[in-house]
Chain A
């Protein structure tokens, strides 16, 4: 029974490139959340998705960032035209319900923009 799988674990991109971060939720979990942790900060909510639907994207930057959770396959967080300030750890969590106590986090993707 695998946990939440995120890949890649580490991603290096040059400024202006695109970054794609993948998250496969736990089996039976239909709720996916993305959080970002900047250096010396706590985790900040970005987006909450259910299959094929974005439920809450109030934490997503207005430009360059998008997320999807298709009917088949993993959830994808996409960052276009990355800048140095996008360097952070991005964590995905999944849950069987819509309360935070059911969260299981993945190990994260550490994005470095050079």
Chain B
């Protein structure tokens, strides 16, 4: 039972354009959402997070939007850079669940020069 779904396995965008990575979840108890970036042969690196009491969080080129009613979140990267090419994982946690994270399968982003 996949509680966090990243339905598109890959995305290719032109350098300088916007990258939009989508994530859906089914567990209504999730109250905290995170995006991680992963390069090959490395561990995931925390990128940005959002609490369920917010609908938007911005950090430089990265913005995460949360639509609780649709159980959907998205990560926007503007402008996209070749160094952003990586696998992006969406993750979620429940309050009081000892912070264990439930991850999606990841999206491979390729930014073309």
Contact = CB atoms under 8 A, between A and B. Distances in A.
Contact of B43 (A42, A44, A48, A106): A106
B105 A41 contact: yes
Contact of A101 (B43, B49, B100): B49
A108 interface: yes
Interface stretch (A14-22, A71-79, A80-88, A92-100): A92-100
Contact of B101 (A6, A45, A106, A108): A45
A33 interface: yes
Interface size bracket, B side: 20 to 34
Interface residues of A, number: 30
B100 A105 contact: no
A56 interface: yes
B102 A45 contact: yes
Highest count of chain B CB atoms <10 Å: which of A35, A100, A103: A100
Contacts of A6: 43
B69 interface: no
Given A33-B99, A59-B100, A101-B34, 5 more contacts: A31-B99, A42-B6, A98-B99, A104-B46, A105-B43
Interface of A: 4, 6, 31, 33, 35, 40-45, 48, 55-56, 58-59, 91, 93, 95, 97-101, 103-108
